[in-house]
Amino acid sequence: MTSAEPGGPPTTSVGRRDSRTSPPVWLRAEPARSRRRAPLTLGRIVDAAVTLLDERGVEGLTMRRLAQQLDVTATALYWHVTTKDDVLDLAVDRIFGDVPVPVVSGDWLEDARLLARAWRAAMLRHPWAPNLVGRPMLGPNVLARTEFLQSALVRGGCRGLPLAVATRMLANYVIGAALTEATWHRTADPQARAAARDHIAARADEYPTLDASGHLDETRWNDDLLFEEGLDGILRAAARTGSPC
């Protein structure tokens, strides 16, 4: 004889589950548990965008692909961002958050140098970034580091127009250096620069100065050396004696 509570499985008269309706527990599959998704947040969107940008570049980032990466609908993204441009601005600011803000020291030149080096390194880790840095840079990470740079220049004696000029020179130099290097690094042919150098050397009569100077010869002047020398030259100009900057 079997009995059952309303809505419950049938049991035998001694309280056992009827073997005809349910196999032993060891033979029953575990019930499927619903997997709770992590809530969609602006932080998750930006993290996923940076990952896609690193993998596919700016052209490979679409709102549809970003939604797929996050396992959501594209519509869900628009609760947090309005356009792809929003995503790009947020992604640029995110990677600048990886640039350590140096501890202020008594050497303003070294403080500025440390920030510039770290800024270049961040853009080389994310080679899509230099192309976007010309966009309005108003994110908190970018502004905090620009504030540090300008405060270092102010400690070096820069004020007014010379401060604005020195800031732009440094920013443009770091962005340009990173853009040039990232472009070479992205080429499919690892020997592309050597081929460019050979092209100049084979036409030394047309380009005697370029040939003699070792232009594009990374065995003579590598990127790190060129960056450091250029940075030092700009900072020396900012620190020149007998002028406000």
**Of 78 and 192, more confident:** 78
Residue 34, pLDDT > 90, answer no
Contacts of residue 105, defined as CB under 8 A and 6 or more positions apart, other chains included, come to 111
Q: What is the pLDDT of residue 174?
A: 94
Name which of 2-11, 35-44, 113-122, 170-179 the model is least confident about.
2-11
Mean residue pLDDT across the chain: 82
CA atoms of 149 and 167, how far apart (whole Å): 7
How confident is the model over 77-88, as a mean pLDDT? Answer: 91
pLDDT the model gives residue 24: 58
Model-wide pTM > 0.85: no
Residue 14 has a pLDDT of 47
Phi then psi dihedrals of residue 61, to 5 deg: -90, 115
Higher pLDDT, 51 or 199: 51
Average pLDDT estimate for 205-234 = 87
Would you say 141 and 97 are in contact if contact means Cβ atoms under 8 Å apart?
yes
Residue-wise pLDDT tens digits, 84-130: 999 999 999 999 999 999 999 999 999 999 999 999 999 999 999 98
| Residue type, position 124, single letter | L
Smallest CA-to-CA distance from 182 within 68, 54, 45 is with: 54
Report which of 65, 88, 53 is spatially closest to residue 182, judged by C-alpha positions: 53
The pLDDT-based confidence of 241 (bands split at 50, 70, 90) is very low
Cα 174 to Cα 118: distance, rounded to the nearest angstrom: 10
CA-to-CA distance for 208 and 201, rounded, in angstroms? 9
